[in-house]
Structure 1
């Protein structure tokens, strides 16, 4: 189970007990926001895109949408999302629980979108469709082992 891998990953930081598990699903931004009683924008969603022989993960705010032009400028290719089977095979987490933590595939690169930086804390999933952890943006960047902050989203600015 992917949440076990994420819990084990956070154990190395002494934070495994901070993973929240819910009785209800948190598989979508809206469901996660309801479970956590926060605005949907504070849900840190992890999107997975094809890139060469592996994939790129982009962690964005819950209200942000990928801007195809910005994505292509940043990564040099058109944004093409992975299928659910590809996500599971390449990342090890199923759709609804995809997160940038505890990924064994070293070819996967993680990027954090600046749409997250407007919040003191955000809530990424933890490998299952009913889990999350509260992190500040610096912690998210560190624990995700992100390559860099990017600006590839639209729809979140006033």
Structure 2
């Protein structure tokens, strides 16, 4: 199970005990915010795309959407989200639990500027009923991100 992979991954950082599991679903931003009793914008949703035959992840704030023109300018390609099946195969996590931790080798992770307005955010941990609260610095460290990018709309910095 993917949540076990994530917990094992977090063990090497000594934070596996910070993973929260819920009795309710956290598969969507709204459900995760409800389970965590926080504003939806603080949910760090991880979106998966295909760029030049390579899967990538972009972690964004819960209240934003991808801006197609910004995305195209960043990646020189049209935004093409992975299918449900591709997520499990190419990323290593099912939709609803996709996160930038314990992912398949070769998957690049990007962090969107929309996250920088928060001290802490809540990404999923590999299942549709889990999350972890991380500072932005911790998110940088544990996600192994490539770079900060600006590909979203619906917020202003």
Alignment partner, residue 49 of structure 1: 49
Aligned pairs for 1:92-131 within 5 A: 92-103=92-103, 105-131=104-130
Alignment partner, residue 76 of structure 2: 76
CA shift at 1:43, angstroms? 0.0
Measured in 1, the distance between the counterparts of 2:64 and 2:54 equals 24
Alignment partner, residue 137 of structure 2: 138
Measured in 2, the distance between the counterparts of 1:10 and 1:106 equals 16
Measured in 2, the distance between the counterparts of 1:147 and 1:34 equals 30
CA shift at 1:107, angstroms? 1.7
RMSD (Å) for aligned C-alpha atoms? 0.9
Corresponding residue SS for 1:123:
strand
TM-score w.r.t. structure 2 length? 0.98
For residues 31-85 of structure 1, the C-alpha deviation after alignment (integer angstroms, 9 at most, x for no partner) is: 0000000000000000000122221100000001000000011111111100000
TM-score w.r.t. structure 1 length? 0.97
**Any runs of at least 4 consecutive aligned residues in structure 1 with deviations exceeding 6 A, and if so which?**
none
CA shift at 1:141, angstroms? 1.3
* 1:67 to 2:80 alignment: no
Alignment partner, residue 13 of structure 1: 13
Aligned length: 157
Measured in 1, the distance between the counterparts of 2:31 and 2:107 equals 27
Alignment partner, residue 23 of structure 2: 23
Q: What 5-or-longer segments of structure 2 have no aligned partner? A: none
